[in-house]
Amino acid sequence: MVTEDRNFEESDLEILGRLVDASNASLLCKLADGVQVIYKPIAGERPLWDFPDGNLASREVAAYYISEIGGFDLVPKTVLRDGPFGSGALQRWIEIDETRDVVAIAQANSSELRNMALFDVVINNADRKFGHILISSDENIYGCDHGVSFHEENKLRTVIWQFADTTLMPDEIAQINQLLAELDIHYLQTLLTEAEVEALLARIRNLLTEARFPLPNNDWPAIPWPPY
């Protein structure tokens, strides 16, 4: 595992191609051991008027961190490291099952989608599109493209609203309590702004107080556009 992690974080990247549909520079690469990854250099990010501080790559890494320590297990391994075009986010590539109907799956009342919806509430995901829900060939569900998350204002925008105003289950409350207890604030401050970290903590505590999935924000579009 140590060797695998070192390879992921230090291996030279062989560029295989570019994801032309991505709004920011996203390059499909291969590590020395053959593992395919997506490399998103900070230098290739377009400025966003509503996310003027920080960078997308660091928020992608923060989302992976929350997914891991929070027990959501949704975000493929993601690190911040140097590459051919400078520092950026490197994320393990997920081979998706093209035969699966992502729209139908995303509208289901499954435990996997509920887990993703809860994760999105925690990170304040402003861009959960259908295309950001990955169904792998082994039928696991992953999430990607979390660069526009963690804003200090409520900007939750998602195609997964079927759990809105639903009471959290005891195991979900325990999960969020554990997440709050294990957060490494100093580490998060290397990835997010001070305001984003403070908002994350406030959001988690409010979620525990309310013990319910939130309703859409009337001052913000509830669904990203385009939704796919």
Residue 167's domain is classified under what CATH number? Answer: 1.10.510
3-class SS shares of the chain: helix, strand, coil, % to 5: 35, 20, 45
Is there a domain that residue 225 lies in? Answer: no
Assess if residue 166 is contained within a domain.
Answer: yes
Digit-coded pLDDT (tens) for 82-96: 999 999 999 999 999
Tell me whether residue 157 is in a domain.
yes
Look at residue 124 and tell me if it is in a domain.
Answer: yes
151-210, pLDDT tens digit by residue? 999 999 999 999 999 999 999 999 999 999 999 999 999 999 999 999 999 999 999 999
Count structural domains, the chain. Answer: 1
Look at the pTM and tell me if it is higher than 0.85: yes
> By residue range, what is the domain housing residue 123?
2-210
- Is residue 30 situated within a structural domain? yes
Long-range Cβ pairs for the range 107-114 (8 Å, 24+): 107/159, 107/162, 108/162, 109/162, 109/163, 112/141, 113/141, 113/160, 113/162, 113/163, 114/163
